[in-house]
Structure 1
Amino acid sequence: MTTSARGSAASARRLARLALLCALAALVVLIAGAGLRSPLVVLAGLAAVVLAAIGVWWILAHRGPIRLLGFLLAVGAPIGVIVLYAGGDLWPEVLASMALWGGGLASARQALRHDTRPRPPRIRPSTPPQRPALIMNPKSGGGKVEKFDLVAKAEALGARVILLDTSTHQDVTTLARQALADGADLLGVAGGDGTQALVAAVAAEHGVPFMVIAAGTRNHFAMDLGLDRADPSRSLDALTDGVELRIDLGEVAGRPFVNLVSFGPYAEIVQKPEYRDAKAATALAELPDLLLGYTGARLSAEADGTPLGDPQALLVSNNPYAMADLLAAGRRPRLDGGVLGVVGLKVTGAAQAADLALRGERSDSVRTMTAHEVVVTADGDTVAAGVDGEALTLDTPVRCTIRPGALRIRVPRNRPGVPPAPPTMDWRRIRRLAFGPGDDSSQSDTATESDTATQRGATG
């Protein structure tokens, strides 16, 4: 074990012990202050979580009076437990206990980060492109191309800009191929993730570098590449002072994707024409039929030959997303792991919704894994899919695969980077860190793929 690794292991051990101490102190403070009432305090808090989760389920799965009742429950349960604590003069003890518990969680997460030693990103120096071609969508991201003057800035750096005509349909794949035929030695996109995936596939096919300009709405791919999403013009630094990364590219039914493919309720919702202009309203209007009265295709899936059952919703991603918090999973710590991330979800009632709220990823309603191939079937000839946010209908069975290292991607040498994803909380692992052997490097080296992936950089 190297000196830096020993230092990281020692830090992990200290933080793990601090986490356990804070957790124990939180319990002691609650018992000392509330006495015999302390179990009731804990039960009241858990009951509030369960009732709020049931309320959210009623909001999503029902209409009319039941939806209204769900809203009242989701809001009223937390307020009710706050009033209960206040009426019982338990504020000091509860607040102190919550503060200690929060400190324990923070220490535990830091311990898990220190325990897994990241592998440095594989960055390859490369010469600047001589004839870069950048495809830009002027409507993407609410007009970021114009707002940040991306056309003029790119042309000043020697790039040829192909500005899409949003009044008519244009085949960006054909435009990318034509740009290469005209001599382009780099392809780039200022647009949404779906457009980026199509051009990225052309770049991968011809072995030329690909470049992302963070001018989309959500910029999920740009975020996982560590690009500056607040100022997309900084992405253009890759043209003059850039480095090259090798990352993976996903494929679904022969179509490329850079982020994820979704099947199930969300995929059905994005098919609706009104979704683009009213996402929340459309989702609330459609979800009751999709969750309880669903008459669409029933899914089944296999990941590397392992049956996943009949998930209600299925997400297949180009490398796994961080799953420390199921509801907040929004980034991939690496893009070159060579595997697909697979998340299956099935919630058909209020009880399962409550279990999901309490147990998160460990709930029986959720199944997560990695695979090299996922095959999705249904009880119909076609199935709705959302591919990087684009609504598609695909013939079944649908085959999702990954092409490891298929894409050469050029990014600025200096970029914000990917913020470290919080690791999945595992108190058993915290106990092992705190009281296990003092110089055990094997535990870190043999951490599960999901744990190590959570700690590595965007390109691992």
Structure 2
Amino acid sequence: MGRHQNAGARTGSVLRARLALLALLCSILVPLLVAGLRSVLWALVGIAGLALASVGVWWTLAHTGVLRVLGLVLSVLAPLTVLSLYSASGMLGPALLSLALWVLAVASARTAMAPPRAVAERAEAPHDPWIVMNPRSGGGKVERFGLVAKARAAGARVVLLDGHQDVVALARQAVAEGADLLAVAGGDGTQALVAEVAARHDVPFVVIPAGTRNHFALDLGLDRDDPAAALEALTDGLELRVDLGFAADRVFVNNASFGTYASVVADPAYRDAKLHTTLRSLPGLLTGEDAPGLRIRAGPTRVGALQALLVSNNPYLRAVDSARPGRRERLDSGQLGVLGVRVSNTAQAARLVRGARSGAVMRLRADEVVVDADTADIAVGIDGEHVVLPTPVVCRTAPGALRVHVPRHRPGKPLTGAPADWPRVARLARGRLFTHQHGPTPTEPDPGA
């Protein structure tokens, strides 16, 4: 049976690789057939529009006053002008069709190259589960979904936080008293604190998405609109082994951010006025004396003068992905994802359209990353919580450290999004590549930037 399943999976990958190459070829042929060599000119017009929009966004974020207003106008008018030119010349339809074919090509290439996933095992039902709940998380989801009563009906001990308890101490005490499963109904910051205790004592962990965003729950495939559904993991669950990330001695389930974002989050006004605080703070953080100037070391790779850095527990597919914003393909790759940004002037902002080749965006994977700065300590956003750590900060991964129990039936679909490596896709399409390797080697630049 296993041999037939493997053969079927291999055949499906080959077919998807062939579809990817066909769609890629068609995305190039469509504008050539419609406009001939003039399609090259129209492509340059589109690239120029994107570059001008990037400059506009940079002016909006990095400056105040007249330049900020001009940047906002430019970031809107540049793409609208390109679309108007395409429409007036009859190229809008072919351009949209070409774009759709390119998206299909990339999606098919990613799924074709996706690595095999670990098989989840049936979880043994706990005898003494313990759940800590934050009644303030997510605007009161604990009360709104009746989580306390439902958890106690499932045989769990429930502790409600009042804002003054030490969550880590409570979790340790629960394990000392015989708890054989720990769970959290709250945000990702609280999830991370209890997850570390669960990993240290090799106790299963359950995520109940009662926070505002719950990115960890999203990547586990849980239903964030129905937190109570996660309680099914107590009686009919599967066990997954996932990684944990560490920044110094602080654990994170999603990411640790350094530089501009971490500094903005540190502002006390951020909680009540996020957009206003961000727009007020960014000019100084991007171009002023407050610009952080981060340096990182990951194996042989050395990069300096970064303004923003995100170290994630497993790599994100994209920093910005309209289809799956902030999503990770898997949580068990045994690697950290590293995303750095270095934009200090208008020319660098315009070059952002070149992606990884612009020199402004750096992506890589690593087992360990050392973050340094010119200050004795540095602000860090760990799963959205502001902390200050002494430099240098060593970020590392603990592969398979956490046993997570999830419901057998989850609405979330696992992502299949390995970066499109077109030479490997071509070899697979010819039937010459039958082993899937996930992404580049540690510290190798990620081609999916």
After TM superposition, the score normalised by the length of structure 1 is 0.88
Residue in 2 that maps onto 1:441: 433
1:48 aligns with 2:59: no
Q: 1:105 aligns with which of 99, 103, 111?
A: 103
Residue in 2 that maps onto 1:330: 326
* Deviation of the 1:337 alpha carbon: 1.5
Matches within 5 A, 1:12-51: 12-32=16-36, 36=38, 38-51=39-52
Residue in 2 that maps onto 1:232: 227
Note if contact 2:285-2:292 (Cα within 8 Å) is conserved in structure 1: no
* Deviation of the 1:329 alpha carbon: 5.2
Q: 1:129 aligns with which of 112, 122, 126?
A: 126
Residue in 1 that maps onto 2:362: 367
Matches within 5 A, 1:35-434: 36=38, 38-86=39-87, 89-91=88-90, 93-114=91-112, 116=113, 118-166=115-163, 169-295=164-290, 297-323=292-318, 330-356=326-352, 358-426=353-421
The alignment partner of 2:266 has SS state of coil
For 2:431 and 2:184, locate their aligned partners in 1 and report how far apart those are by CA, in whole Å: 48
* Residue type of the alignment partner of 1:90: S
For 1:175 and 1:259, locate their aligned partners in 2 and report how far apart those are by CA, in whole Å: 22
Q: CA RMSD in A?
A: 2.4
* Deviation of the 1:22 alpha carbon: 1.4
* Deviation of the 1:165 alpha carbon: 0.8
Note if contact 2:336-2:397 (Cα within 8 Å) is conserved in structure 1: yes
* Residue type of the alignment partner of 2:351: D
| CA pair 109-382 structure 1, distance change in 2 beyond 3 A | same
| CA pair 287-213 structure 1, distance change in 2 beyond 3 A | same
| CA pair 104-256 structure 1, distance change in 2 beyond 3 A | closer
* Deviation of the 1:297 alpha carbon: 4.4
Note if contact 1:250-1:402 (Cα within 8 Å) is conserved in structure 2: yes
The alignment partner of 1:309 has SS state of strand
For 2:437 and 2:370, locate their aligned partners in 1 and report how far apart those are by CA, in whole Å: 31
* Residue type of the alignment partner of 2:268: P
* Residue type of the alignment partner of 1:440: R
For 1:45 and 1:194, locate their aligned partners in 2 and report how far apart those are by CA, in whole Å: 41
| CA pair 69-7 structure 1, distance change in 2 beyond 3 A | same
For 2:273 and 2:402, locate their aligned partners in 1 and report how far apart those are by CA, in whole Å: 34
State the aligned residue count. 438
For 1:39 and 1:373, locate their aligned partners in 2 and report how far apart those are by CA, in whole Å: 43
* Residue type of the alignment partner of 1:448: P
**Percent of aligned positions with the same letter in both sequences?**
51
The alignment partner of 2:403 has SS state of strand
* Residue type of the alignment partner of 2:155: G
* Deviation of the 1:82 alpha carbon: 3.0
Alpha-carbon deviations, 1:326-351, whole Å to 9, x = none? 78751111111212111221111122
For 2:233 and 2:144, locate their aligned partners in 1 and report how far apart those are by CA, in whole Å: 20
| CA pair 389-217 structure 1, distance change in 2 beyond 3 A | same
Residue in 2 that maps onto 1:458: none
* Deviation of the 1:30 alpha carbon: 3.5
The alignment partner of 2:304 has SS state of coil
Alpha-carbon deviations, 1:85-139, whole Å to 9, x = none? 44xx423x3312321331243134213312x253232322232111111111111
* Deviation of the 1:431 alpha carbon: 5.1
* Residue type of the alignment partner of 1:3: A
* Residue type of the alignment partner of 1:331: R
* Residue type of the alignment partner of 1:148: F
* Residue type of the alignment partner of 2:89: L
* Residue type of the alignment partner of 1:127: E
Note if contact 2:142-2:148 (Cα within 8 Å) is conserved in structure 1: yes
Note if contact 1:227-1:415 (Cα within 8 Å) is conserved in structure 2: yes
| CA pair 373-426 structure 1, distance change in 2 beyond 3 A | closer
* Residue type of the alignment partner of 2:195: A
| CA pair 447-164 structure 1, distance change in 2 beyond 3 A | closer
Note if contact 1:313-1:346 (Cα within 8 Å) is conserved in structure 2: yes
For 2:109 and 2:387, locate their aligned partners in 1 and report how far apart those are by CA, in whole Å: 43
Note if contact 1:22-1:101 (Cα within 8 Å) is conserved in structure 2: no
| CA pair 182-20 structure 1, distance change in 2 beyond 3 A | closer
Alpha-carbon deviations, 1:234-260, whole Å to 9, x = none? 111101101211111111121111111
Note if contact 2:242-2:400 (Cα within 8 Å) is conserved in structure 1: yes
For 1:423 and 1:305, locate their aligned partners in 2 and report how far apart those are by CA, in whole Å: 24
Note if contact 1:16-1:431 (Cα within 8 Å) is conserved in structure 2: no
* Residue type of the alignment partner of 1:135: V
For 1:325 and 1:426, locate their aligned partners in 2 and report how far apart those are by CA, in whole Å: 19
For 1:446 and 1:405, locate their aligned partners in 2 and report how far apart those are by CA, in whole Å: 16
For 2:319 and 2:182, locate their aligned partners in 1 and report how far apart those are by CA, in whole Å: 35
| CA pair 111-344 structure 1, distance change in 2 beyond 3 A | closer
After TM superposition, the score normalised by the length of structure 2 is 0.91
* Deviation of the 1:392 alpha carbon: 0.7
* Deviation of the 1:70 alpha carbon: 0.7
For 2:14 and 2:84, locate their aligned partners in 1 and report how far apart those are by CA, in whole Å: 43
Note if contact 1:223-1:418 (Cα within 8 Å) is conserved in structure 2: no
Q: Flag structure 2 segments of 5+ consecutive residues without an equivalent.
A: none
Note if contact 1:135-1:162 (Cα within 8 Å) is conserved in structure 2: yes
For 2:325 and 2:215, locate their aligned partners in 1 and report how far apart those are by CA, in whole Å: 12
Note if contact 2:107-2:417 (Cα within 8 Å) is conserved in structure 1: yes
Note if contact 1:15-1:108 (Cα within 8 Å) is conserved in structure 2: no
